[in-house]
């Protein structure tokens, strides 16, 4: 590659910062330009719905690097600017300020945006979303002044918001159209655990309920029920930011489609983080995961591939949550619609257990709830991809390490 090479990173979050870091660690000495929409330094998002939302804790610790790091590593960080267009033929990107930048390699780390409500009143000023640090600051200020809120959606963002609101002494009603929280991710049995957790902490959980409208006084459900709320928090999922890629003619579909080395349909353009629908060699399918671990770990693979080195991302999907006195870690992947069974080791009622999702007696995902120092064993069981004895898997007297096959 002719020197000096220029690598442009579109996006200003964790994936973008880790990609710049990985490129320097891999010895790349060309120009790196990071273009991020937000005015802030790149930061991590998990604390925004946890400690930052509850008490403002870790607010100054969310940033991946301080400003000096970018200066010391010759990374041209452009904040408050976006990439608005890609000219693949000219190898140029257009920025929102009108500048055009040449690139030799381009990484798309554009992330995802909150899915918006689509009911009357969705654009009222009392409707809040949680994606950015500014969103988190605004929501924390709202919780400090509100008496009651309504949360639409019982996914991770909705439930963590509900937990933070209860910690602030705010009355909470959660409206969820499915029959259990987290049904699509964890299934009905484990979803019921989270339902019980929130009800035990005073949350009014309305399941199998559909939102009809947002009103000045709160929300109205499809059955005519009206719920008073000072604010409405929408946590109904996220949509990958594929507009830039699609306009450039790249292959998209539930994200930007990539190979295992995170290369898109253009050999000089890569994608990582929430926006990447990457082929996973271990799972044998394309998957897109909106979790911190992907944004943290994929960029190193993308960096190696951008430098022409062999690389493949085969880390197992991983996520975690902290709600009230419940802490959980999950590893693996259960494809939507795949027939499977769940084996429990421990006590669901006490919320101290391990859960295993099995397909043909093989563990494809596992979770620990308030049982710690088990993550390595859970990962090893999933990676082994070998049939196991279900009785031994459910028996706490059988050490997990005995079940792990090389």
d(CA 74, CA 118): 44
d(CA 95, CA 7): 15
**What is residue 223's predicted lDDT score, i.e. its pLDDT?**
96
What is the percent of the chain where pLDDT is above 90?
90
Task: Count other Cβ atoms within 10 Å, centred on residue 285.
Answer: 11
Count CA within 13 A, CB hemisphere, residue 93. Answer: 26
**What is residue 406's predicted lDDT score, i.e. its pLDDT?**
67
Give tens-digit pLDDT for 184-225: 899 999 999 999 999 999 999 999 999 999 999 999 999 999
**Banded pLDDT at 59 (limits 50, 70, 90):** confident
> In this model, does residue 61 exceed pLDDT 90?
no
Tokens of 321: 């949550």
**What is residue 367's predicted lDDT score, i.e. its pLDDT?**
97
**What is residue 183's predicted lDDT score, i.e. its pLDDT?**
93
Give tens-digit pLDDT for 112-171: 999 999 999 999 999 999 999 999 999 999 999 999 999 999 999 999 999 999 999 999
**What is residue 57's predicted lDDT score, i.e. its pLDDT?**
62
Kindly state the average pLDDT of the residues 371-394.
Answer: 93
Kindly state the average pLDDT of the residues 17-34.
Answer: 97
d(CA 384, CA 168): 43
Tokens of 90: 């000219």
Assess contact for 276 and 264: CB atoms under 8 A.
Answer: no
Mean confidence (pLDDT) of the chain? 95
**What is residue 56's predicted lDDT score, i.e. its pLDDT?**
64
> In this model, does residue 50 exceed pLDDT 90?
no
**Banded pLDDT at 94 (limits 50, 70, 90):** very high
| β-pair type (211-215, 326-332) | unpaired
Separation in Å, CA 327 to CA 50, 160, 167, 353: 12, 11, 16, 11
**Banded pLDDT at 380 (limits 50, 70, 90):** very high
d(CA 198, CA 321): 14
**Banded pLDDT at 58 (limits 50, 70, 90):** low
Give tens-digit pLDDT for 320-371: 999 999 999 999 999 887 778 999 999 999 999 999 999 999 999 999 999 9
Instruction: Please identify which residue in the block is written with the tokens 């608005």.
Output: 84
Kindly state the average pLDDT of the residues 42-61.
Answer: 83
> In this model, does residue 246 exceed pLDDT 70?
yes
- Residues making up the chain, counted from first to last: 406
First to last CA, the chain: 41
* HEC sequence for the chain: CCCCCEEEEECCCHHHHHHHHHHHHCCCCCEEEEEECCCCCCECCHHHHCHHHHHCCCHHHCECCCHHHHHHCCEEEEECCCEEEEECCCCEEEECCCCEEECCEEEECCCEEECCCCCCCCCCCCEECCCCHHHHHHHHHHHHHCCEEEEECCCHHHHHHHHHHHHCCCEEEEECCCCCCCHHHHHHHHHHHHHHHHHHCCCEEECCCCEEEEECCEEEECCCCEEECCEEEECCCEEECCHHHHHCCCCECCCEEECCCCECCCCCEEECHHHEEEEECCCCEEECCCCHHHHHHHHHHHHHHHCCCCCCCCCCCEEEEEECCEEEEEEECCCCCCCCEEEEEEECCCCEEEEEEEECCEEEEEEEECCCCCHHHHHHHHHHCCECCHHHHHCCCCCHHHHCCC
> 215 phi and psi, to 5 degrees?
-120, 175
Largest CA distance in the chain: 66
**What is residue 3's predicted lDDT score, i.e. its pLDDT?**
57
d(CA 124, CA 360): 49
Tokens of 177: 């159209």
Structural domains of the chain, with CATH: 6-113+238-306 (3.50.50.60), 116-234 (3.50.50.60), 325-403 (3.30.390.30)
Kindly state the average pLDDT of the residues 57-65.
Answer: 83
Separation in Å, CA 384 to CA 11, 30, 362, 387, 388: 35, 40, 9, 9, 10
**What is residue 4's predicted lDDT score, i.e. its pLDDT?**
79
Tokens of 99: 């500048």
What is the percent of the chain where pLDDT is above 70?
98
What is the pTM (predicted TM-score) of this model? 0.94
């Amino acid at each position: 590659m002719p020197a000096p090479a220029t690598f442009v990173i579109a996006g200003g979050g964790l994936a973008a910062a880790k990609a710049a870091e990985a490129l320097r660690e891999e010895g790349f000495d060309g120009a790196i330009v990071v273009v991020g929409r937000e005015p802030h330094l790149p930061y991590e998002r998990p604390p925004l719905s946890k400690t930052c939302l509850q008490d403002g804790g870790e607010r100054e610790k969310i940033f991946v690097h301080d400003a000096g790091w970018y200066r010391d590593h010759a990374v041209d960080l452009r904040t408050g600017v976006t990439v608005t267009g890609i000219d693949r033929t000219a190898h140029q990107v257009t920025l929102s300020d009108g500048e055009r930048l040449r690139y030799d390699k381009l990484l798309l780390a554009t992330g995802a945006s909150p899915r918006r409500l689509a009911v009357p009143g969705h654009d009222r000023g009392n409707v809040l979303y949680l994606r950015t640090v500014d969103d988190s600051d605004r929501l924390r200020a709202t919780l400090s002044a509100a008496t009651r809120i309504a949360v639409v959606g019982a996914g991770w963002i909705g439930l963590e918001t509900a937990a933070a609101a209860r910690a602030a002494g705010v009355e909470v009603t959660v409206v969820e159209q499915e029959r259990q929280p987290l049904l699509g991710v964890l299934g009905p049995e484990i979803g019921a655990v989270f339902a019980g957790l929130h009800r035990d902490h005073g949350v009014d959980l309305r399941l199998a309920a559909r939102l009809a409208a947002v009103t000045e006084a709160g929300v109205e459900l499809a059955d005519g029920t009206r719920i008073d709320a000072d604010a409405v928090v929408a946590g109904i999922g996220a949509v990958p930011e594929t507009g830039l890629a699609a306009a450039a003619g790249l292959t998209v579909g539930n994200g930007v489609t990539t190979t295992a080395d995170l290369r898109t349909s253009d050999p000089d353009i890569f994608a990582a983080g929430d926006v990447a629908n990457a082929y996973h060699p271990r799972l044998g399918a394309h998957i897109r995961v909106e979790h911190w671990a992907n944004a943290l770990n994929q960029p190193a693979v993308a960096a190696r591939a951008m430098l022409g080195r062999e690389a493949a991302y085969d880390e197992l999907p991983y996520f975690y949550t902290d709600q009230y006195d419940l802490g959980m870690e999950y590893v693996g992947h259960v494809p939507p619609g795949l027939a499977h069974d769940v084996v429990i080791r421990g006590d669901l009622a006490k919320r101290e257990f391990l859960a295993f999702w099995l397909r043909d007696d093989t563990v494809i995902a596992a979770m620990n709830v308030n049982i710690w120092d088990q993550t390595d064993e859970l990962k090893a069981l999933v990676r082994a991809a070998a049939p196991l004895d279900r009785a031994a898997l459910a028996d706490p007297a059988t050490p997990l390490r005995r079940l792990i096959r090389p």
